[in-house]
Amino acid sequence: MRVLVTGGCGFIGANFIYYMLSKYPDVEIVNLDKLTYAGNLANLRPLEQGPDKERYFFVHGDIADPGAVSGIFEKFRIDAVVNFAAESHVDRSINDPAPFVTTNVLGTQNLLWTAQEKSVPRFVHISTDEVYGSLGAEGKFTESSSLAPNSPYSASKAAADMLVRAYHKTYAFPAVITRCSNNYGPYQFPEKLIPLMFKNAQEDKPLPIYGDGQNVRDWIYVTDHCLGVDLALRKGRPGAIYNFGGDAEKTNLEVVKTLLKQLGKPESLISFVKDRPGHDRRYAMDFSLARKELGFKPEHTFEQGLEKTLSWYRENQEWMQSVQSGAYLEFMKQWYEDR
């Protein structure tokens, strides 16, 4: 089985490639990545010398480029597509929505069109719980919940989801959509909450938390998400949507306090900053459909996953330093100045 993974040099995509190659000796991976600021070739460097190097192929390209995408299908026989490629940071989408529309909407359309023309037998589109909007104090998102995105990022992902749905309805294209809660784990770019808090805590710098810190997210360890995507790829019903969650609702303040406790750092490092526009109050995922149809169940508690994540960051300081430069640092500097 040869799988085209888009965005494979990013956080979740890289973890998925490692997961698939380690679990299935008959799987080959073609990784298409544009290598934006969050796409790092170093994330997959061990594959270049490891035992799985003959089953891994990297292509530098953009999913929004018709030539790049069609070229892959001409060169390789592709049995399945898993689309991780996306601009994904909410703060960046507030500053400039255009790249999010280009990659997340037009890129998905281009990928769908080519895969449909080539009669690819399986297409898995990776979406997010953010397309559902915000929950009140009770209840959880189900696959039938209305879409109500509140940021340019989530709006672009919702639009992409609608395109995937339309391709299934119009062309009977065998596509599946997955929507997942907040991921954490190795290789996550340090603009996201947990790696950013780890970095600042290690340097005894303030840990900025938006608003009152009571925004709630359901957290899932990244390899549990990879398990879900694998199950959707192999068992998912064409046209279906599957929610994945970690069954670990935490406020942002709880997450940061747990992180500080595991690192042995004082809570006095916490600093509350002005809330960001359109900040959703609560997400929570009902993944009972995925449990019933796919046999999905997260294998890590939040505390277990966080311990593994922090250990990985401690052991990979060189990786952390390599991504804490250039465009990322300039963006974060400007963002906090604007707050």
First to last CA, the chain: 48
Please indicate, yes or no, if residue 31 is contained in any of the structural domains: yes
Helix (H) or strand (E) holding 79, with range, is none
Question: Which residues are known catalytic residues?
Answer: 129-130, 153
Give residue-wise pLDDT tens across range 52-88.
889 999 999 999 999 999 999 999 999 999 999 999 8
- pLDDT at residue 277, rounded to an integer: 87
pLDDT in tens, 88-133: 878 889 999 999 999 999 999 999 999 999 999 999 999 999 999 9
Contacts of 206 (CB under 8 A, 6+ apart): 200, 269, 270, 271
pLDDT at 325: 60
Tell me, yes or no, whether 330 lies in a domain.
Answer: no
Q: Tell whether 19 is covered by a domain.
A: yes
Q: Is the pLDDT of residue 278 over 90?
A: no
Q: Which CATH number covers residue 26?
A: 3.40.50.720
> What integer pLDDT is reported at residue 324 of this predicted model?
65
**298: CB partners within 8 A, 6+ apart:** 220, 221, 224, 227, 244, 245, 246, 247, 248
Query: Does a structural domain hold residue 39?
Result: yes
DSSP 234-282: HHPPTT-EEEE--S-EEEHHHHHHHHHHHHT--GGGEEEEPPPTT---B
- Does residue 162 belong to any structural domain of this protein? yes
In whole angstroms, give the CA distance from residue 275 to residue 253.
Answer: 13
> Does any domain span residue 259?
no
Q: Which domain holds residue 77?
A: 2-185+220-247+281-300
Q: Give 332's pLDDT tier (boundaries 50, 70, 90).
A: very low
Look at the chain and report how many structural domains it folds into.
1
- 330 has a pLDDT exceeding 60: no
pLDDT tens track for 216-252 = 999 999 999 999 999 999 999 999 999 999 999 999 9
By percentage, how much of the chain surpasses pLDDT 70?
Answer: 95
For residue 94, tell me if it sits in a domain.
yes
Asked if residue 154 belongs to a domain, the reply is yes
What 8-state DSSP symbol labels residue 53?
G
